[in-house]
Structure formats: C-alpha cells, structure tokens
Amino acid sequence: MTDAERTAVEFTFAGAPVRAWSGDTVAMALWAAGHLALRRSSRDGAARGVFCSMGVCYDCLVRVDGETLRACTTLVRAGMLVEPGGKP
C-alpha cells in the first residue's frame, strides 16, 4: 500500500474516537493518539502496552469487536470497537 492509497479511518478505543490511516496497526494508531496503556496486568494491575511491536510478547492485547488480539499485529478498520485487553 502506498501513501497515496491510504485513507482516513476512525475507530473507537474505550469509548473514545481514534483517527488513523488504513495500513496502520491498532497499536501504532493508539500510540499516535496517546493511548500508551492498552491493558492491565492480571498479576499486579500494572499498565501494559506495546513492548516488542512484532507479535511476540503479548503485552499489547486488546479486544477488537469482542475478540482478543495483539494490537501490534492487527490492522485498523473503520468502525472497529477496541477495548483494553485482559490477561494473555
């Protein structure tokens, strides 16, 4: 996908609108929008977010339209409902 082919996309994270570009991952779109904490640790409640950014650590888990996915390997889609994730 070239930059000229990218289109504006809007989705929701924890009830707040987020603007991104087609081809962005959910992780990078949320990061660019200032959402660094994507879930809470099930062990101690600490904020977790993007760590490896390549699908290995599972720190970026979010729920996308009800399905638990890694934000760093999931591309944005218009209208998707993203919520903070749970335990890995």
**Residues at the interface with ligand FES (CB under 6 A):** 50-53, 55-60, 70, 72
Nearest to 34 by CA among 22, 47, 18: 18
Cβ 84 vs Cβ 40: under 8 Å: yes
Is residue 71 within 8 A of residue 38, CB to CB? The reply is yes
Shortest Cβ 9–ligand FES spacing (Å): 20
Nearest distance, CB of residue 64 and ligand FES, angstroms: 13
Instruction: Indicate the residue among 8 and 43 with the shorter CB distance to ligand FES.
Output: 43
Rg of the chain on CA atoms, in Å: 12
Q: 77's torsion region: left (phi>0), alpha (psi -120 to 50) or beta? A: beta
Closest approach of ligand FES to the CB of residue 2, in Å: 25
Q: Is 24 or 59 the residue whose CB approaches ligand FES more closely? A: 59
Compare residues 3 and 49 and give the one whose CB is closer to ligand FES.
49
